[in-house]
Structure 1
Amino acid sequence: MVDDKLRTPGAVRDAERWTAHNYHPLPVVISSAEGAWLTDVDGRRYLDFLAGYSALNFGHRHPQLIAAAHAQLDRLTLTSRAFIHDQFADFCRELAELCGKDLVLPMNTGAEAVETGIKVARKWGYQVKGVPAGQANIVVAEGNFHGRTTTIVSFSTDEDARADFGPYTPGFTVVPYGDLAALTAAIDENTVAVLLEPIQGEQGVVVPPEGYLPGVRQVCTERDVLFIADEIQSGLGRTGATFACDHEGVVPDMYLLGKALGGGIVPVSAVAANADVLGVLKPGQHGSTFGGNPLACAVATEVVRLLATGEFQRRSAELGERLRAGLEGLVGKGLVEVRVRGLWAGLDIDPALMSGREACERLAARGVLAKDTHGSTIRLAPPLVITEEEIDLAMTQLAEVLAA
């Protein structure tokens, strides 16, 4: 029985009373956080193994990022893109250099970055490739998660995300993820882009077969099609490299970035590509009042500088091996399969034992916060500032949940 003196039950009830039920959160009410740890309204501490779906790659309240935000709050927070502010050029230049691209287009949310990528690809197809007006198509993958706008859910294969939101936007061809032959066959003379997650996060950290991404790169080059990599969750150090594409030496034509770019402080997203692609946009054709605002640029520039040292990519790669070892030791002991790339893991629990939701509730009771996705699958994505001891602690708690 829950102690009536605790604040959590009432706060949970209030949240359920006053908000639309578009999420089903765990019954935990967080009031403060630092590094890899969260504290609830009753003073209980939790190890964060979700990191805001990779939005908190650098942990909660990273001092360098908080300092940048505080300094900018005292100076300037918004101008709109009607004017240029003094943080804008540095952010765009340093992010472009990190990506190895000519240009950056800042936006706010990941879904906005995806929508921007779709618009740019279509315009490029009409103006550069010569696709007949209104005929552009984009090849996407089953199991994708690129956001929840009406256009994006039009090519989702997740019925929870898609059902009852039609009529749907045409212009997309869906093929099995990881199937290079199917993707190649789907490309025709009007295809302007292939849009893929290099690792499918929402699907359960699904890593494609070796050689798949290089194959996609090759066929896109041969067929004059843009390769758009949605690195919103997988990018910026999460997988042990700056981008998940880096693991196979693949450079897409366009990066879609978000989540960790805002340092867990403000929503920041961006599209990065060369001038022959992003250069198709002209004034008035696309924009955002808050996109590239001074506060966002100040924080995101510090994020880029943290990544430029390579420290966080190395931490993710090295600690990811410890995470892998811990999880693989539980295969056959409640786990059916694990998929790990850096500090990002998908684990399939034996459905005869419990659902992913039940496992997350039991982990929360033991002081570890994670999130289920699709039945008995859980995603783990701890902040990149996590320590070996904290990883071991989480593995011990997971083992005890499975054993119980």
Structure 2
Amino acid sequence: MDTLNSAADGPELAEPYLREVLGMAGLAVEYVRAEANTLFLRGADGGEIPIADFAGGYGSVLLGHNHPEINRLAGELLDAGTPVHAQFSRHPYANRLAAELNRIVHRELGVDEPYFAIFANTGAEAVEAAVKHAEMDRGMRIAALREELERGTDAARAAVAAGTATVPGRVRGRFGLTAGQSDAAALDELTDRIARDNTAQTERPPLFLSLEGGFHGKLGTSVQLTHNEAYRVPFRSLAAQARFVPRDRPEALKEIHAEERGVLLGLTVTDGQVDVVERAFPVFCAFLVEPVQGEGGIQVLTAEFAAEIQRFCAEIDCPVVIDEIQSGMGRTGTLLASSQVGLRGDYYTLAKTLGGGIAKASVMLVRRDRYRREFEIVHSSTFAKDSFSCTIALKVLELLEADGGAAYRRAEERGEALRTMLESVRADHPALVKEVRGKGLMQGLEFHDQSGSPAASVRGLAESGLFGYFLAGHLLRAYRVRTFPTASAVNTLRFEPSLRVSDEEIARLEAGLRDVCRLLEEGAGEVLSGSAPTP
């Protein structure tokens, strides 16, 4: 069998540490071509070696690498000189894409309220757009609330000045106002106290809610909403802060709200007496949710937890941002994985497969009742909403919807075949394989922690922090199968192949996983790490 070529062509100046880590795990190879569910890498003799791709561009190539219809359209667009840079002009192709996304979303959600589209280039940018919009909306709601309270204060001042209202003893006592002063003086002291309290409240930075294990990107704001501390903590001082909700404790929502809730105070006049009223202050800017967590270990949101999130956010008027960047675009059998658990978002973020595997495209959808048109002026992107990426995305939707949604059904069928295989491996190796999780063509297989293995070589793999990467390296070297662990749960291997994944490729993956289990049982960690040849 041809050997894999991992030699560098020159000094490694681009991400040298990452290259070192990949090299340690046996994943630093050069891919030279791609089609369908196959990547071709360069062998030591310069020839091509086909690799079954179960990584799938982290979910970007559901339709397969270099889909012929998408590539043909891309060539036609480029040959025709389609405009990429035509900012501040009409974009009919973007309107058509937004309309088609709305049509499918309405069908899946059973609603007809429109969602407005803000386009971007990557998933993290779409998340940033969603949280920026949510903060603009929160700020405008706070401003409206303060205006309402100021009107109440003005009315109370006028009533006291006219002698038609007094500041009663219960209010004076509650706020510890100076004894014996007139109603006018008491009201001045009271309004000053309320103003200070309200200012302290409104100066609080916004809080976000996110699930433990969640991943929403690595940009300045989105990284703060990502649970993995290795990504988040170095940049903690830069941007927004989040409270992370345990996946198995929906009751934690009420606990967090009780700890963080705030109120603004105002005045009202009732039956000739000035009284103090409380209005809930919108501390929480948004709740970000992945229906299926990708980087967090392929964790699936339950319908029960989804219902709790929906109820909780409705009660406190906190918008729900549904991150469908990995789980959406048909990968789980529907455009929106969240529609399968009855969760409806105020915002959706879509990317990856939206670009058909070749265009860098993402979109943030925001429900009409939440939409602030001022956002279009303060947020923009040089490369977003162009003719090329929007037209490619329209073709992707056309392919997904063709033949009555055959692609969605294919994702379910291929996903079930993959899951059946993974479950059979788990059933035969329960001491090694902890759990199989996922939906459709987004599956994960979690290994038990091997840090207590009697074999020193296996313990070394577990303690390296790269356990899953070493397993992936063995699958690549010995079985010509490409996959990776989930970054925030390295004991879980992820499988996100394209619709073109074949029974033969699934069988090859099965053979590789069974071999991994055999080597772990035998304590052959040196084989898994590549430091000893495969027996």
TM-score with structure 1 length normalisation? 0.92
2:392 is the counterpart of 1:279: no
Following superposition of structure 1 onto structure 2, how do residues 327-342 of structure 1 map, counting pairs within 5 Å? 327-331=422-426, 332-333=428-429, 334-342=432-440
Q: Which whole-Å CA distance do the structure 2 matches of 1:279 and 1:150 have between them? A: 23
**Preserved contact between residue 123 and residue 280 of structure 1 (Cα < 8 Å):** no
Gaps of 5+ in 2: 107-113, 147-201, 262-280, 462-466, 520-535
Matches within 5 A, 1:5-404: 8-11=5-8, 14=10, 16-22=12-18, 24-25=21-22, 26-42=27-43, 43-74=48-79, 75-100=81-106, 101-128=114-141, 130=144, 134-135=203-204, 136-187=206-257, 188=261, 189-190=281-282, 191-309=284-402, 310-331=405-426, 332-333=428-429, 334-350=432-448, 351=450, 352=453, 355-365=467-477, 366-373=479-486, 374-404=489-519
Higher helix share: 2
Q: 1:210 to 1:251 in 2, by over 3 A?
A: closer
Q: 1:197·1:231 contact (CA, 8 Å) conserved in 2?
A: yes
The answer to whether the 8 Å contact 1:127/1:280 transfers is no
Counterpart amino acid of 2:484? Answer: K
Q: Write the distance in 2 (CA, Å) between the matches of 1:307 and 1:278.
A: 28
**Which whole-Å CA distance do the structure 2 matches of 1:144 and 1:158 have between them?**
8
Write the letter of the residue equivalent to 2:209. Answer: V
Amino acid aligned to 1:327: L
- 3-state SS, counterpart of residue 235 of structure 2: coil
8 Å Cα contact 1:238-1:313 kept in structure 2 = yes
In structure 2, the residue corresponding to 1:301 is in which secondary structure? helix
More divergent stretch after superposition (102-111 vs 174-183): 174-183
Deviations 1:305-337 (A, max 9, x none): 222232222111112111111111111524221
Partner SS for 2:436: strand
User: In structure 2, what is the Cα distance between the partners aligned to 1:29 and 1:301?
Assistant: 31
Amino acid at match of 2:516: V
AA in 1 matched with 2:500: V
Alpha-carbon distance between aligned partners in 2 of 1:122 and 1:89, rounded to the nearest angstrom? 25
Is 368-377 or 231-240 further displaced after alignment? 368-377
Q: Which runs of 5+ in 1 are unaligned?
A: none
SS in 2 for 1:276: coil
Would the alpha carbon gap of residues 371 and 180 (structure 1) be closer, same or farther in structure 2, given more than 3 Å must change? same
Structure 1 residue identity aligned to 2:105: C
Q: Is the 8 A contact 1:81 1:291 kept in 2?
A: no
The percent of aligned pairs where both chains have the same amino acid is: 30
Instruction: Work out the CA distance in 2 between the residues paired with 1:77 and 1:10.
Output: 39
Deviations 1:263-315 (A, max 9, x none): 11021110112222233434421110111111111111111222223222211
Structure 1 residues 90 and 170, CA, compared in 2 at 3 Å: closer, same or farther?
A: closer
**Retained in 2: the 8 A contact 1:363–1:369?**
yes
* Distance change in 2, residues 1:200/1:282 (3 Å): closer
Question: Residues of 2 paired with 1:317 and 1:72: CA distance?
Answer: 32
What do the CA deviations read for 1:340-374 (whole angstroms, capped 9, x no partner)?
21111111124245521121011101100000233
CA contact (8 A) 1:55 1:263 kept: yes
Contact residue 225 and residue 241 of structure 2 kept, 8 A: no
SS of residue in 2 equivalent to 1:180: coil
Bigger mean CA deviation after superposition, 212-221 or 170-179: 170-179
Shift of the alpha carbon at 1:217? Answer: 1.3
Q: Is the 8 A contact 2:129 2:364 kept in 1?
A: yes
Question: Which secondary structure does the structure 2 equivalent of 1:195 belong to?
Answer: strand
Instruction: Provide the aligned C-alpha RMSD in A.
Output: 2.3
Query: More displaced, 27-36 or 204-213?
Result: 204-213
Q: Quick one: which amino acid aligns to residue 97 of structure 1?
A: R
* Partner SS for 1:46: strand
CA contact (8 A) 1:199 1:206 kept: yes
CA distance in 1, matches of 2:436, 2:7: 37
How many Å separate the matches in 2 of 1:159 and 1:314? Answer: 37
State the SS of the aligned residue for 1:9: coil
* TM-score under structure 2 length normalisation: 0.70
2:115–2:367 CA contact under 8 A, matched in 1? yes
Q: Which whole-Å CA distance do the structure 2 matches of 1:59 and 1:210 have between them?
A: 30
